[in-house]
Structure 1
Amino acid sequence: MATYFKRGKTWSTKVRWYDDDGKRHSKSKSGFSTKVLAKQWAVDQESKLNKGVQIAKEISLVDYYNNWVNTYKKDKLSAITLDRYKYTGEALKDFFHDDKIKSITRVKYQEFINQYGSTHAPTTVKKVNSIIRACVKSAILDDYLYKD
């Protein structure tokens, strides 16, 4: 069930549901310029729920990265390139451990890049950054993040 409310000049909405165990969950979003846009978002979320899609997604960056590599990259890359993706995953695990993908800020990511750059060549850092950015863009499309 969705609720809509106005906060200042923008509209917000909250979708609530119960999982199979009877546990209550909710997901909210704000910043809609009109109530119609808020309703459209809520209807889309409820539609996903009806199709069995989990909309309250919590996953660590490392887990998402590994799933992303296995799903989208593993069969399409050469062995050498796949090794680079593997080393990137190891670097993410060493720095971020089990941090949730939503909890990683620009500052924390920049700290990772700075630390990684202190022991690797600039070209390597650019390649690693490119790989991670592609993963983050995929996370946005999968609704784990709203922006990069």
Structure 2
Amino acid sequence: MASIYKRGKTWTANVFVLMDGERRRKTKSGFRTKSEAQGWANEVEVAKQKHAITFNTKTPFPVYFDNWFEIYKKPFITYSTIKWYELTSKHLHRAFENVTIENMTRARFQKFLNDMGKKYAIETTKKIKMHVHQMVTSAISEDVIVKDFTQGTNTTGLAGKDRNLKFLEADTMKLLVGNLVSRPVEERPVTDMMILMGLHTGCRYSNCSARMDGY
């Protein structure tokens, strides 16, 4: 049930909501007329019936992503995949350090994807969008936010390199090395050791192969 009252020269509306066994209040003030306040209260009442009410959270968007990742993703994925999520987290912290998850909008996220597309390959921006979309789906199911701000956004990015000029970008190379060294030395196949040697020394495949003979 809503309560409408006048405070000074403007009107205020309160709507009480039962959430997790607690009676909480959704409030908005500054309405010029009583009918405007009543209209807002009616919208909140409709949202309440649809279980679409959310309350303000001060959690920064990147921090929420990190918490979600630690609980719902990290325990169930491989080391190399973990590194991709951590890379996504790094970019989110750079772009949205002071933005709470409830203040994220589709326009904000699209601008972020556009900026990423100017510096990184399109596969990277697609992967970041996928990670964030997974988190958003979880946040909606937990009533933290109502709308999916990744929906309808588009990814762009740099074109792939010519096959004769292909090489690993720094971030990708670090992910590869991290994945290779995560396995104990005595369990690593010869191919892994050859890749590590090539990355650290610049040796050609034939030289790495010769040095690994008998490994």
- TM-score, structure 2 normalization: 0.48
Matches of 1:38 and 1:104 in 2, distance apart?
19
Output the amino acid matched with 1:140.
I
- Shift in CA distance, 100/38, structure 1 to aligned 2, threshold 3 Å: closer
Give the deviation of 1:55 after TM superposition.
Answer: 5.0
Q: Is the 8 A contact 1:62 1:93 kept in 2?
A: yes
Q: Which structure: larger Rg? A: 2
Answer whether contact 1:59 1:101 (CA < 8 A) is retained: yes
Aligned pair in 2 of structure 1 residues 108, 30: CA closer, same or farther (>3 Å)? farther
Q: RMSD across aligned C-alpha pairs, in angstroms?
A: 3.2
Match of 1:31 among 43, 54, 57: 43
Normalized per residue, which structure has more strand? Answer: 1
Q: Flag the 1:30–1:113 CA change in 2: closer, same or farther, 3 A.
A: farther
Is 2:135 the partner of 1:135?
Answer: yes
In the alignment, is the contact (CA less than 8 A) between 1:16 and 1:27 conserved in 2?
yes
Aligned residues: 122
Which residue of structure 2 aligns with residue 104 of structure 1? 104
Q: Which residue does 2:16 correspond to in 1?
A: 15
Q: Which has the higher contact order (CA 8 A, sep 6+)?
A: 1
Q: CA deviation at 1:140?
A: 0.9
- Tell me the SS of whatever aligns to 1:75: helix
Shift of 1:80: 0.6
Q: Does 1:75 align with 2:58?
A: no
Alpha-carbon distance in 1 for matches of 2:101, 2:87: 19
Contact 1:66 1:89 in 2 (8 A): yes
**Equivalent residue for 2:188?**
none
2-side partners of 1:88 and 1:3: how far apart? 42
Shift of 1:64: 0.6
| CA deviation after TM superposition for structure 1 residue 59, in Å | 1.5
- Equivalent residue for 2:126? 126
Distance 2:65 2:88 in 1: 9
Match of 2:2 in 1: 3
Structure 2: give runs of 5+ residues left out of the alignment: 5-12, 19-23, 28-40, 149-215
* Residue type of the alignment partner of 1:108: R
Report how far residue 31 of structure 1 moved: 3.4
Change (3 A) 1:41 1:15: farther
Listed as ranges, the matches of 1:32-51 within 5 Å are 40=49
Is this contact kept in 1: 2:62–2:93, CA < 8 A?
yes
Q: Give runs of ≥4 in structure 1 deviating > 4 Å.
A: 37-42
